[in-house]
Amino acid sequence: MSSQTLFHRVNFSAWKYQDTKESWAYLYEVMMKQYLSEDSKIKLGKSTKSLPKTLGRYHKLWKLNLQKHKWFPIISFFMVFGLAFYWSFLADKISIIKTVVSTFGLVLLAKMILFYFQQRTTAIGLLNKYLNRPSYLEYLGMQAEVENELESLMKTWIPDLTNNEKVLLFVDDIDRCDLEKVISIVDGLRIILDNPEIHKRLIIVTAIDEEILREALAVKYNAIKNLDIPKMYQEYLEKVFIIGIKLNELEKIEMEEYLGKILPDLNFDTKEIETSIEKANEEVEESKEEQSITNDKGMPNEKIVDENINEEQSELELTENKELTELELTEDEKRYLITSIQKLKDATPRKIKIFYYKYLILKQLFHVRLTDKNLIEKWDTHNDEKIIMDILIHISNQQPISDFIYDVKDNDILDALKYSSNMVSAL
């Protein structure tokens, strides 16, 4: 496999359908969905052109069914259709009948027809006996059907093995399945995908917790006494998986990079809000020049104009502050988030993402609580929000929330913070 290999990625969630037959059917459906979703291209001379989506889908289905059924049904149909059309509309039936009767004679023709119907069953049975092989595919069940369909799909998807193309099947969420079903799911997929034609065109990558796999083996062979589970686990890995890669713990710089990717871009949204406010201010200035507001005596009243403008500007400033507070993270927050995440134990990309979303939830809950208690003016947003991240690190590291030391002097603020923290600690 070269660096120029073209991969067609297919995502398969083993947790979604855990029974063996259902997982087989689901495997076929996700692979078929991916096959049909890709662009269908045809060659026009030396160039290649992509077909429209709907037409491309039918083109792919045509190629797939042609791979399964070949050309014989189509050729047979058109031969019978052509003969029927010729006999019905073009042939001189009387002339043909006269020719056949004059050639063979009426008596001989009748004997030939009678002989055909008498010996038809015997002749067909004799041919089947010596030319056909016995088949018991109907007794193999759903596994054989799905395997045959997958084989046809793979041959259609990648007809030429020299083109450096592979289907990359990414199997995820095996460790979320019931322990009793983990091994059966892995074995069921392995049986179908062990087909030589499928194997040539397919690479399987699976993510699984090795402890879950070891426990699943222990559960399956629990009835066998004196079983060496570690040895069986090693043998099972060697039989099922070609190679295993164990990821190391994330380094600090990797944690920072990952968190940096999921943090929102503050500059873009801030610029958008500032543009809206500037535009609104321009409209206010235009209205000031164009309108003449008069008092009850009919005289222009510039004071009323100024008051209206000031009120509108104040509302715009409040809107700006509210949007930036509720929807955005400040640069200080982003920097402290990146610093705090380094204290997270056994950090994984999933844990980092959960930590970030928990922070957004706790921040919002706490803000609502402060608003309800009329405490929003007492809260120092720029400095004291760091304590929210410290609380989340404490919770994420599996430490009781009751052990956290709150560095907050105001008792009302402290009560609101504890109230909100207890809500998030259950998540």
User: Averaged over 277-281, what is the pLDDT?
Assistant: 47
d(CA 37, CA 50): 13
Q: How confident is the model at residue 1 (pLDDT cuts 50, 70, 90)?
A: low
Q: Residue 144 corresponds to which amino acid?
A: A
Residue 404 scores a pLDDT above 80: yes
User: Going by C-beta distance under 8 Å and a sequence separation of 6 or more, which residues neighbour residue 64?
Assistant: 35, 152, 153, 156
As a whole number, the mean pLDDT across the chain is: 77
Poorest-confidence range of 58-62, 354-358, 374-378, 423-427?
423-427
Query: 3-state SS of 271-314?
Result: HHHHHHHHHHHHHHHHHHHHCCCECCCCCECHHHHHHHHHHHHH
User: Averaged over 37-58, what is the pLDDT?
Assistant: 83
What pLDDT sits at residue 307? 46
Q: How confident is the model at residue 383 (pLDDT cuts 50, 70, 90)?
A: low
274 or 211: which leads in pLDDT? 211
Q: How confident is the model at residue 33 (pLDDT cuts 50, 70, 90)?
A: very high
2 C-beta neighbours (distance < 10 Å), count: 5
Residue 31 scores a pLDDT above 90: yes
What pLDDT sits at residue 106? 65
What pLDDT sits at residue 324? 39
Most confident of 131-140, 206-215, 286-295, 319-328: 206-215
Is residue 316 a contact partner of residue 309, using CB atoms and an 8 Å limit?
A: no
Is residue 31 a contact partner of residue 153, using CB atoms and an 8 Å limit?
A: yes
282 or 13: which leads in pLDDT? 13
What pLDDT sits at residue 186? 87
Q: Above pLDDT 70, what percent of the chain?
A: 74
What pLDDT sits at residue 304? 39
What pLDDT sits at residue 95? 76
Q: How confident is the model at residue 149 (pLDDT cuts 50, 70, 90)?
A: very high
Give the predicted TM-score (pTM) of the model: 0.64
CA 190 to chain centre: 22
Query: pLDDT tens digit string along 69-83?
Result: 888 888 988 898 888
Q: What is the dihedral of CA 34, 39, 40, 42, to 10 degrees?
A: -150
Looking only at the bridges linking them, the beta strands covering 165-172 and 47-50 are unpaired
Residue 190: in which H helix or E strand, if any?
A: helix 179-193
Burial tier of 250 (Cβ tally within 10 Å: 0-12, 13-18, 19+): buried
Poorest-confidence range of 44-58, 102-116, 349-363?
102-116
Residue 247 scores a pLDDT above 50: yes
What pLDDT sits at residue 158? 92
Is residue 376 a contact partner of residue 370, using CB atoms and an 8 Å limit?
A: yes
What pLDDT sits at residue 358? 87
**DSSP-assigned states of every residue in 161-188:** GGG-EEEEEEEE-GGGS-HHHHHHHHHH
CA 217 to chain centre: 28
CA 51 to chain centre: 25
d(CA 12, CA 26): 8
155 or 378: which leads in pLDDT? 155
User: Averaged over 244-264, what is the pLDDT?
Assistant: 83
Is residue 265 a contact partner of residue 246, using CB atoms and an 8 Å limit?
A: no
Residue 329 scores a pLDDT above 90: no
Look at the block and give the residue holding tokens 């921040």.
363
Query: pLDDT tens digit string along 80-123?
Result: 888 888 777 776 767 776 676 666 666 666 767 776 666 666 66
Q: Residue 285 corresponds to which amino acid?
A: E
Residue 312 scores a pLDDT above 50: no
User: Averaged over 231-241, what is the pLDDT?
Assistant: 84
Residue 168 scores a pLDDT above 90: yes
Which tokens go with 362?
């706790």
Is residue 185 a contact partner of residue 193, using CB atoms and an 8 Å limit?
A: no
Q: Above pLDDT 90, what percent of the chain?
A: 11
CA 111 to chain centre: 68
CA 108 to chain centre: 71
User: Averaged over 37-44, what is the pLDDT?
Assistant: 82
What pLDDT sits at residue 151? 93
Residue 266 scores a pLDDT above 80: no
User: Going by C-beta distance under 8 Å and a sequence separation of 6 or more, which residues neighbour residue 331?
Assistant: 266
146 or 320: which leads in pLDDT? 146
- Angle subtended by helix axes 331-340 and 252-262, to nearest 10: 140
What pLDDT sits at residue 30? 94
